[in-house]
């Protein structure tokens, strides 16, 4: 697959551009989401600290604890259970002097033992000395000067807490500083420190999850793009080139037979396009052949007409002139019949391609056409009878087709039968059904077919009665054959055992 942007098909371009836009939008939202994760987690952790701070302030207020080193230290020892899950709690007075620090106490031991340790450590040592003790302790303690943040907090006009989130010595600390109020008076400050590496881990996990998701989606889109281009867009492009080759009459055009075997929509489109193209080419070839044949057929009566008119101008014999006028009349009728039938055939083919096929009871078609012909024969004073033979009176013989075209089939057959039937002759139209096939049979008592190859009667402009060619253009049976095949049927002609012609048409039965 060529991923050069300029060489991509338009659909694939749109698909990739759309996904790029989606990725950009998702990227922006992802960036905003990831940017908000850490502050939200820090805020959540700080809220936990605030709960501890509020509880501590309430205990100091309720127990009426003096804000001195001894009292606060003893208080921390007595309420050690409040701070066991925290890394460090420090209390300062208003001058930012450290009063007590959980790092100088072993909150897991008994009060008496801790008190002894507290007594061994001078309570009035400066904050620097306490920090020196901290340096000899565990890695839980902070190593930055918290007094700086206390000064910053004290300068705030509101009493909101101060939250600090920093990485120190490869650890991520969350520190919450707030004031200690007793009787609505600020007595000092409390700082809660906690190693919160789990926040960084949570942020990294979310980042990794999103990154893996983005990579997975990108791989899926890439695979789908390859599939889209190879199995859908490339075949469509080939079919477009195929249609262009047909338009440009490229004799070397590729018909893409490899797509015909596919059973999906592309395969159906390929087969449909190929069938449509072959049908169109067939129609073009038929039209070209038909035009050539029509030109040839018209040329003969025109030559006869021209010769008869020249002789007519040169002769004064009345009998000969009468005969020549008859020839001219015959040739004119012949040309007129050719043009009329040819025009009607083209109209019928166009009408059939636009008509919608439906379920038709062929018995009704037979009765309507036969009634019309019986009326015409009676009006012309001819003595020819048309009989309808039905296999079953109550059984419908249903086929799938266009009613007007089925009527045209029977009308053309009856027209030929009437033309070649002798006076007092009989024409029989039979309907029967056998093995899911409906048979329509027309039999007359005329001279039958004289040809050795009887299928020649289906050729255009063919007639085995030249003397009556003015009434028969030779297109009748050809039109019948074409319409029959368009209905999925077959037509066969033969001579009867005694005398006359027999034409049998087979339609697929629509009966369920």
- The reported pLDDT for the residue numbered 32 is 85
Residues 6+ apart with CB under 8 A from 312: 321, 324, 325, 328
pLDDT at residue 512 above 60?
Answer: no
Query: 356-512 belongs to which CATH class?
Result: alpha beta
Provide mean pLDDT across the span 135-142: 44
For residues 466 and 15, give the distance between their C-alpha atoms in angstroms, rounded to a whole number: 68
Residue (of 408, 291, 429) closest to 348 by Cα position: 408
Q: At what angle do helices 476-486 and 318-354 cross, to 10 degrees?
A: 10
The pLDDT tens digits for 142-179 are 445 677 778 777 777 666 788 888 888 888 888 888 88
pLDDT at residue 505 above 90?
Answer: yes
- Pair 342, 475: CB distance under 8 Å: yes
Provide mean pLDDT across the span 239-265: 68
User: In which element (H, E) is residue 486 found?
Assistant: helix 476-486
- Pair 30, 210: CB distance under 8 Å: yes
Q: Which two tokens stand for residue 311?
A: 């002789």
Every domain range in the chain assigned CATH 1.10.287.130? 255-354
The pLDDT tens digits for 257-271 are 667 767 777 777 777
- The reported pLDDT for the residue numbered 466 is 42
Every domain range in the chain assigned CATH 3.30.450.20? 7-202
Among 140-154, 173-187, 270-284, 317-331, the range scoring the smallest mean pLDDT is 140-154
Q: CATH: 3.30.450.20, 3.30.1360.120, 3.30.1130.10, 3.40.50.450. Which one for 7-202?
A: 3.30.450.20
pLDDT band at 474 (very low <50, low <70, confident <90, very high): low
Query: What is this structure's pTM?
Result: 0.46
For residues 248 and 242, give the distance between their C-alpha atoms in angstroms, rounded to a whole number: 10
pLDDT at residue 224 above 50?
Answer: yes
pLDDT at residue 124 above 60?
Answer: no
The pLDDT tens digits for 366-404 are 999 998 888 888 877 788 888 988 877 667 788 988 888
- The reported pLDDT for the residue numbered 504 is 92
Among 308-312, 363-367, 452-456, the range scoring the smallest mean pLDDT is 452-456
For residues 39 and 43, give the distance between their C-alpha atoms in angstroms, rounded to a whole number: 6
pLDDT at residue 230 above 70?
Answer: yes
Among 40-54, 279-293, 480-494, the range scoring the smallest mean pLDDT is 279-293
- The CATH fold assigned to 255-354 is Helix Hairpins (1.10.287)
Every domain range in the chain assigned CATH 3.30.565.10? 356-512
DSSP 8-state class, residue 50: H
The pLDDT tens digits for 187-205 are 888 888 888 888 889 888 8
CB-side neighbour CA atoms (13 Å) of 397:
25
Q: What is the mean pLDDT of the chain?
A: 76
The pLDDT tens digits for 88-117 are 888 888 888 888 888 776 544 443 333 333
476 vs 162, residue with greater confidence: 162
The pLDDT tens digits for 5-27 are 434 457 777 777 888 888 888 88
pLDDT at residue 436 above 50?
Answer: yes
């Amino acid at each position: 697959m060529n991923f050069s942007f300029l060489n991509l098909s338009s659909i694939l371009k749109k698909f990739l551009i759309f996904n790029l836009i989606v990725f950009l939008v998702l990227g922006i939202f992802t960036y905003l989401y990831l940017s908000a994760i850490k502050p939200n987690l820090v805020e959540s952790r700080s809220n936990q600290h605030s709960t501890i701070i509020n509880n501590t302030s309430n205990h100091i207020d309720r127990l009426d604890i003096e804000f001195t080193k001894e009292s606060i230290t003893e208080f921390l020892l007595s309420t050690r259970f409040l701070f066991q899950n925290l890394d460090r709690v420090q209390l300062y007075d208003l001058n930012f002097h450290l009063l007590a620090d959980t790092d100088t106490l072993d909150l897991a031991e008994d009060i008496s033992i801790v008190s002894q340790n507290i007594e061994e450590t001078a309570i009035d040592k400066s904050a620097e000395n306490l920090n020196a003790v901290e340096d000899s302790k565990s890695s839980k303690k902070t190593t930055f000067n918290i007094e700086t943040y206390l000064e910053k907090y004290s300068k705030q006009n509101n009493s909101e807490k101060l939250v600090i989130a920093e990485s120190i010595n490869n650890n991520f600390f969350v520190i919450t500083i707030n004031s200690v109020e007793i009787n609505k008076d600020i007595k000092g400050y409390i700082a809660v420190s906690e190693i919160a590496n789990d926040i960084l881990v949570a942020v990294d996990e979310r980042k990794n999850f999103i990154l893996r998701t983005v990579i997975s989606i990108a791989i899926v889109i890439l695979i789908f793009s390859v599939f889209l281009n190879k199995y859908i867009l490339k075949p469509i492009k080939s079919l477009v080139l195929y249609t262009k080759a047909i338009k440009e009459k490229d004799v070397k055009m590729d018909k893409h037979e490899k797509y015909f075997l596919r059973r999906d929509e592309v395969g159906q489109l390929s087969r449909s396009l190929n069938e449509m193209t072959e049908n169109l080419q067939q129609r073009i070839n038929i039209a070209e052949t038909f035009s050539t044949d029509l030109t040839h057929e018209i040329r003969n009566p025109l030559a006869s007409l021209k010769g008869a008119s020249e002789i007519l101008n040169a002769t004064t014999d009345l009998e000969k002139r009468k005969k020549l006028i008859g020839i001219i009349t015959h040739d004119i009728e012949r040309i007129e019949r050719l043009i009329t039938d040819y025009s009607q055939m083209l109209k019928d083919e166009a009408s059939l391609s636009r008509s919608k096929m439906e379920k038709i009871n062929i018995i009704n078609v037979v009765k309507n056409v036969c009634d019309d012909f019986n009326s015409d024969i009676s009006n012309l004073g001819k003595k020819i009878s048309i009989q309808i033979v039905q296999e079953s009176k109550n059984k419908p013989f249903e086929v799938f087709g266009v009613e007007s075209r089925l009527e045209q089939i029977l009308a053309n057959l009856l027209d030929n039968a009437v033309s070649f039937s002798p006076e007092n002759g009989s024409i029989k139209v039979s309907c029967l059904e056998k093995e899911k096939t409906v048979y329509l049979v027309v039999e007359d008592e005329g001279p039958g077919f004289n040809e050795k190859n009887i299928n020649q009667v289906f050729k255009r402009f063919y007639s085995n009665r030249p003397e009556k060619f003015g009434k028969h253009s030779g297109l009748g049976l050809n039109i019948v054959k074409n319409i029959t095949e368009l209905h999925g049927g077959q037509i066969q002609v033969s001579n009867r055992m005694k005398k006359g012609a027999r034409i049998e048409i087979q339609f697929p039965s629509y009966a369920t």
